Structure 1
Amino acid sequence: MPQSSAQVTAAEISRIAGVTRATVSNWRRRHEDFPAPAGGTDSSPLYDLETVRTWLASRGHASAATPSEELRTMLRLRAQSGGSGTSEGLLLVVLAAASHSAEELTAATRLPDTEVVDRAQRDAESAADAVPATGPVRFDTADAAVLRALYACVRDEGGQAALGVLAERELEDSAASGAYRTPAPLADLLAGLIPGSPSRVLDPACGSGTLLAAAARRGARELCGQDALPVQALRSAVSLTLTEPEASVTVRAADSLRADAFPGLVADAVLCNPPYGVRDWGHDELAYDPRWAYGVPARAESELAWVQHALAHLAPGGYAALLLPPATAGRASGRRVRAELVRSGALRAVIALPAGASVPLHVGLQVWVLQRPEPGGPERKSVLFVDTAADGPAGPPAGFGGTTPPARTRGTARSASVDWPGVTARALGAWRAFMENPDAFEGEPGVAHAVGVVDLLDDVVDLTPARLVRASRAEVDPAELSARVDATRGDLVKAAKSLARAAGHEDWSAAGASAREWRTATASDLSRGGALTLLRTVPDSVRTRAHAAGGEEGRPETRAVITGSDIATGSGPTGEPTGLYDGTAPVIAVGDVLVRAIANEGGPMARVAGEEDAGALPGPHVHLFRPDPARLDAWFLAGFLGAEENIAGASTGSTVLTVSPGRLRVPLLPLEEQRRYGEAFRHVHALRAEARRATALAEETARLLAGGLTGGQLLPSREAAEVRGQGGDSPH
C-alpha cells in the first residue's frame, strides 16, 4: 500500500508509541539504531515516519497509538504533503462512514491510495444533502493516509471522536473566535429550565450543537440551528445527525441577526449562547426590524438583540434560556429594553453562575429565562433571581429538597472546578418552586428571591442577581441561624480530629539515595494480556447499528451515573442517564477503577469503586478499568493510573486535555508488592476524603458566621472583645 513519506516530531512519536516524550528522549540517547533526524533543527528535529514505524515495530510499539491519535498525526502530516481535501469534505466523510458496518470500514482502510480517495469522494457526495450547503469536495492521493485514519477512527471510536479531532485542526476554542463549546452540564441546565418537553427547538447561534443535543436528550425531535461560521454549522449538523438519528435536524450557515434562515419559524423553545460584546451586529441596517418589540437595542447591546430575536421566534407561552454576560443586567444603554422586558412579563428569571462555568472563564455569566407573553394571559407580578455563585457551597439550597452541601472547589479562573450537580440543583430547585406558585414563592435568603415588577422599574433597572438576592438575608431568623452555626461548628471539630488521625498515619518510607525505577506496560498491553478490561462508557455506532439490524430495541436505563466531577470531588453518583444509555452500557462493580477522561480540572483523577458506586453507570467522560484480582490490585492500579505524570503523558489537546486510557502506564510488580502499594494508596485516598470534608465544613462555618454578623442575626461577644483589648492585640 504505497504511502507518501512524511516527517514527525518527537511528540508525535510518543503518541504513536503510547509513551511519554521523556521515553522518546531516552530512546534517542540509549539506542544507536534509533532513526536519525530527517529534517527540522537541532532543537526541534523531524523524523521520517515510515522509518520510525519500522523501528517501533521491531520493539513492539507499532500499534500503541489510538485511532484518534493516528488521525490527529495524519492531519498534521497532510499539511506537509499538500492534501487538497477540505475540512468540510472530511466532516461529510465522517457522517457517511458512521452509517457503514465495521467490515466496510476495515475494507476502506485497506484500499490503495486512488481507490480510498474515490471511496471517500462518493461518501462525501452521498452525505452532502443532509447538511448545510458546502462547496465541491475534492480529494487526491495526498489525502489517502488521512482518509484511512479517518475510517479507522470512526470504526473503532465512533463518529464523535473523529469529529472532535477534526475540530481541533479547524477551530481554536476561544471566546475571540466564537468557536468554543458550551460545557455539557451547562447545556443540560439551560435545557432543564424549559418547562415540559418542547418538540421544536431553535438555537440561532448553535456552534457545535451542544445546546440542541441537550434539548434532544429531553425529548425534542425537531432541531433547528444556525451559525455564522460555516464550518461550525456543518460540524453541528453532522454531530446532531450522528447522535440524534430519530430527530429532524436542520442547520443553516448565516448570521442570524442579519440573515435569519428561519424567518417564519415558530419554536416551542429557544436555547442560545450568543456571541458577546459584538458592536458590528447590524444596529444601523436593522433599526426598523419588527423583532425589536421591546425597544431598539443600543449599538453596545448586541445581547439584547439576541434576547428579542429569541422571543420573536417563540410561540405564545414558549420559553427561551440564554447565556449572557453579567453586564447585560445593568449596563445603562440597555435600561429601556430591560424595563420593557420586565414590565411585559417576558423576563421570568435571571440566574447568576459561578466563574468558570463557560468561556470567558474569569466572568460569572448569567442565564436569562424568558417567556413570550400570551394574549390575555396571566399578569406576571415578579421576577425570580437566583445566585448560584453566592459565597459558600454550590449545592441544593435548603428548602428545595437538599441538605447542607460541600463547598465549591476553588481555583484560578482557568482551572476552576464548578460543582455542576450543586449549581444545577440550586438553580432548578428555585426555578421549579417559583413556577409552581410565583405569588407564594418564599425563596431562600442570600440564594433565591422573587422581586416585584414595580420594585425593579427604577431609574437603572439593574437585574444583577447578587444585588437583589443578598439584600434578602435580613429575613433569616437569628435563632435558627445560631443553631445552624453551632451544629456546623460541632461537625467541624469532629472532622478536624479525623483529619489529624488520617494525617498521622505512616505507611511509607524513603526509597534511599535515588528514586525507584521499574518496568511498565500500557493499559492497552495489560488489556491484551487479560490482566484488565477496558470497558466503553457508551455503545459505539457499530454496536448501535448491530442492535438495530438484529431487531433488538434499546432498553432505557434508570441507573445513576458517575461523572468526572464525582471522581474529582469524591461524591457518590450524581449524574442521570441520557438517551446514549440503552442497556448495553457497562455497569460499575465493586473493585472497578474509574478514571476521569478530562484532565483540566483539579482533584483526584482516579478512584476505586466501592459499595456506594456498585450498580451505577460510568459517565461519558469516565474510563472504566476492570482488573483481574488475581493479577492486579485495584488500589495499586488506581494509584498509578491517576498519577500526575502518567495522566500528563497520556493526555492530548490544548484547551481541553483528553486522557487516552490505553496509553496510561502501570508498573509490572508482583501481586504481593502491588497490595502493599495499594494499601498505601488507600490511606492517601482516606486523607483526601477527610481533608475535603474538613475544608467544606470550615467554609460552611465561616460563611454562616460572616453572613450572620453582617446580616444582623449574630452579635460579637462583648467579653471576647474586652479580653482581646486587655491582651494588647489591637493593631494600633
Structure 2
Amino acid sequence: MDGDGRPEMTDDEATVTAADIARIAGVGRAAVSNWRRRYADFPEPVGGTASSPTFSLKEIEEWLRLQGKVQALPLRERAWQQIRAATDDLRLGEAVAEAAELLCGKGTPRLVPQQAVELLKEYREQSGEEAVRFLLDRYAEVHSRRLAETPPEVAEFMARLAGPGVRTVLDPACGLGILLSAMKGVEHAYGQEIEEALARIAKIRLDLTGIPGEVRAGDSLRDDAWPDLLVDAVVCHPPFNERNWGYDELVHSPRWEYGLPPKTESELAWVQHALSHLVPGGLALLLLPAVVAARRSGRRIRSNLLRRGALQAVIGLSAKTVGGTGLPVHIWILRKPADDGPPPSRVLMAEAEPGTFDEVIEVWREFQADREREIDRPGLCRTVPVIELVDDAVDVTPGRYVGAQEVSASDFPAIRERLLRGLKRTIELIPEAVPGGGRTMPLVTVSELERIGALEMVQAGRFEIDGTGQPVITDQDLLSGSRPRGQTSPEGRIRLRPGDVVVAVRGGELAARVIRESGLLLGPRLTLLRPDPAHLDADFLAGFLQATAAVAGTPSGIGRFDPRRSQVPRLPLEEQRRYGEAFRRIAEFGDQLREIEQAAHRALVSIALGFVTGTLTPPPGRGSA
C-alpha cells in the first residue's frame, strides 16, 4: 500500500479493455476482435466478462511490440491506462480531475495510483501543460457519446459575439469548460456543472487558459450556486430535450418572467435562467436545438421575449458544424432589458458556417450599434420586424427569413458567360476510363504500409483552435472543399508538408485531401498519412481511401471508418501514379461541378427575374409555330 493506505497498482496489475487496446494501437475495435481470432498467442483475458473482457496491460504491450503494431507504449498512454484501470467508468472523471489537479500542484492522491502520478510528472517534465491537456482531451474522447461538447470553433464564435467588453461571465451548465475557456480577457468567470468531476475539470481548463474563475458543482435550475450573481454575459450549451429538469418543483420560481416553461421546453427554462443572471443590458448566448425556435408549446414565451426586446438575434448553424447530435442548432442572443429606450422593433436572423463567422460578427456589431437598422444580405442575414414574427406560430427559425443570395437581371450576361466558360472547362475535366475486365487487385492495409515504412500515420487529438499563429486545416475545410480559414498556435502541433494526405470523418461523411501547399497545421481529430514518395503515390492513396468510404455506403459505416484498416491495391509505383493522376483529375472534376452548380443556380434566378420584371425577354423567332 502507498502512504494513504491505497493498494499500489503496478504495470503487472493494470488492465485494459478492447477499446483501450484499439486506442493504443490506433485501430478500430473490430481489428482487436480479429486479432483475438487470428492470433493464437494473443493474450488471454484476465478479468471482465465474456462480452467485455479485460487484459493485462503488460501482456498486451509486449504482444503489440512483438507483432510490430507499436514500437513502445508512449509514456502518456502508460499513465492513462494506470488511471483508467484504477477505477470504473462512473468514477473515471474523478480520477482524471484528481490527476490533472496533481499535475497542477493541487490536492493529494486518493484514486490515482502513485505509479501513475510519477509517470504523469515525468510526462509533464517533457511536455509541460500539454500533459494536463492530454488528460482532459482523452477523458472527453472516452466519454464523447455521453458528453455534449461545444466544438471549439463554435465556442470561439459565441465568445466573439459576446463582445470584447465583457468583464464577468457565467456558464450555468459548463460541462468540460470549453465555452468558459473561450471567454479570454474576462476579469472573472463563474461556472456551475451538475457533475462534481466535470466541475473540477472545467476549473482546471480555466486555469490552463489563464482565466480567473470559480466553478461549483450542482443543478443550476434546482439549486443555483450563484443565486445573487449578476454578470455582463452568460454563455451556455445546456442539455437538449431534458424532461426531468425540475418543472414540478420550480413552478413558482421568480425566474419565469416571460412565462412558465412547459415540461417539454427545458431549453426555455435555461433561457430565462440565463436572463435572470444578467446586469441590465447584459447579453446571454445559448446554443439550442433548432426545434426550440418553432415548437408550438413554447410560442407564448417566444412571443414575450420578442415583444419585450429580450430576444435580439437567432443564428442558424448546420448539423455538420456542430456534429454529435446530428441536429441543426441555433445560437440565441438575448439582452436583459434596460431603461435605455423602447424595445427594438427588429431581430437579427442569420445563417452561419465557419467561413462566414467573421461576416456575421461584423453584422451583429452593426445591429448592436443601431437596433432599428434595416439589414438585408441575402444568403447571410436579415433584420426582421418583430411584428412579422409574432404571428400564430411565433417561428424564429432563421431559414424562414434569410433569403437566397441576391442576383439581379442585369447580371445575367456576365453570369451566362462565366457559366459557358465553366461548362467548357467541365467538359475538358470529364474523367476517362476503359473497361478493366473485372480483375481483382491484391490489397494491402494502411496498417501494413505503416509497418513496412511506406508511410507514417499520425492521428491528431482534441485541442482548441485559439485563433492565433499559423493556418490550420480542419474537418470543416476538408468536408466543404474550402481553403483553411482558422489559425492556431504552432506549439505542440503537427506541421503538414506538400504531399501529405489528411483524412476527416464527421457526420457520416469522409474526405481525404492531398496537401499541395506549405505552412499548414493539422487540425483536431484529423488523421495524417505521410507516404514515402519512393514507395507510395499520395493521390493514389487519397483516391482509394475516398473510394473505400463510398463502398461503406451508409453514414454509420463511414462513421466507423478506420484508416489503418482501410485497404488499397498493392501496385507498382508507376501503376500507382497512373491511378493517382486519374484520382487527381476526378477531384478537380468534383470541384468544378460544385462551381457549375452555383453558377447555374445564379443564372436561373437572374434570367427568371429578368423575365418577370421585363428587363429581359426571350430571343425573337423562337417558340413560334
**TM-score bracket relative to the smaller structure:** 0.7 to 0.9
CA contact (8 A) 1:18 1:61 kept: no
Flag the 1:339–1:293 CA change in 2: closer, same or farther, 3 A. same
CA distance in 1, matches of 2:40, 2:525: 41
Indicate the residue corresponding to 1:605 in structure 2: 512
1:321-360 Cα shifts (integer Å, max 9, x gaps)? 1122334334454444333322332221122333444467
- Stretches of structure 1 that go unaligned for 5 or more consecutive residues are 101-122, 127-136, 389-419, 541-554, 727-732
Question: What is the 5 A alignment of 1:292-311?
Answer: 292-311=256-275
2:71 is matched by which residue type in structure 1? S
Indicate the residue corresponding to 1:210 in structure 2: 178
2:584 is matched by which residue type in structure 1? H
Question: What is the 5 A alignment of 1:290-369?
Answer: 290-358=254-322, 361-369=325-333
Indicate the residue corresponding to 2:475 in structure 1: 564
- Stretches of structure 2 that go unaligned for 5 or more consecutive residues are 1-8
Question: What is the 5 A alignment of 1:585-604?
Answer: 588=496, 591=498, 593=500, 595-596=502-503, 602-604=509-511
1:63 is matched by which residue type in structure 2? Q
Flag the 1:711–1:36 CA change in 2: closer, same or farther, 3 A. farther
1:452 to 351, 360, 385: 385
CA distance in 2, matches of 1:626, 1:34: 30
Larger CA deviation: 6-15 vs 262-271: 6-15
CA distance in 2, matches of 1:491, 1:616: 31
Shift of 1:607: 1.8
CA distance in 1, matches of 2:360, 2:200: 33
Shift of 1:574: 0.9
2:92 is matched by which residue type in structure 1? S
Indicate the residue corresponding to 2:134 in structure 1: 161
1:234 to 186, 200, 206: 200
1:576 is matched by which residue type in structure 2? Q
**Identity %, equivalent residues:** 32
CA distance in 2, matches of 1:270, 1:485: 47
Shift of 1:313: 1.7
CA distance in 2, matches of 1:686, 1:266: 58
2:367 to 434, 440, 448: 434
Indicate the residue corresponding to 1:464 in structure 2: 397
1:233-267 Cα shifts (integer Å, max 9, x gaps)? 2332233333x1x2113111112122111123222
1:481 aligns with 2:414: no
Flag the 1:654–1:226 CA change in 2: closer, same or farther, 3 A. farther
Aligned length: 608
Shift of 1:569: 3.0
2:145 to 163, 173, 198: 173
Q: Secondary structure at the match of 1:125?
A: coil
Q: Secondary structure at the match of 2:162?
A: coil
CA contact (8 A) 1:502 1:683 kept: no
CA distance in 2, matches of 1:632, 1:284: 64
1:498 aligns with 2:425: yes
TM-score by length of 1: 0.67
1:619 aligns with 2:523: yes
Flag the 1:638–1:199 CA change in 2: closer, same or farther, 3 A. farther
Larger CA deviation: 437-446 vs 60-69: 60-69
1:189 aligns with 2:197: no
CA distance in 2, matches of 1:483, 1:693: 25
Indicate the residue corresponding to 1:87 in structure 2: 92
Question: What is the 5 A alignment of 1:573-592?
Answer: 573-577=484-488, 581=489, 588=496, 591=498
Flag the 1:621–1:682 CA change in 2: closer, same or farther, 3 A. farther
1:617-675 Cα shifts (integer Å, max 9, x gaps)? 44344566777777876556766787858xx9xxxx99987989xx69999999xx546
Indicate the residue corresponding to 2:345 in structure 1: 381
CA distance in 1, matches of 2:50, 2:250: 57
2:153 is matched by which residue type in structure 1? P
CA distance in 2, matches of 1:14, 1:526: 21
Shift of 1:435: 3.2
Flag the 1:461–1:571 CA change in 2: closer, same or farther, 3 A. closer
Shift of 1:539: 10
CA distance in 1, matches of 2:314, 2:56: 57
Indicate the residue corresponding to 1:224 in structure 2: 190
1:289 is matched by which residue type in structure 2? S
Indicate the residue corresponding to 2:590 in structure 1: 691
Shift of 1:280: 4.1
Shift of 1:181: 0.9
Shift of 1:723: 6.5
1:263 to 227, 234, 237: 227
CA contact (8 A) 2:189 2:213 kept: yes
Question: What is the 5 A alignment of 1:509-520?
Answer: 512=439, 514-517=441-444
CA distance in 1, matches of 2:123, 2:435: 43
CA contact (8 A) 2:68 2:451 kept: no
Q: Secondary structure at the match of 1:434?
A: helix
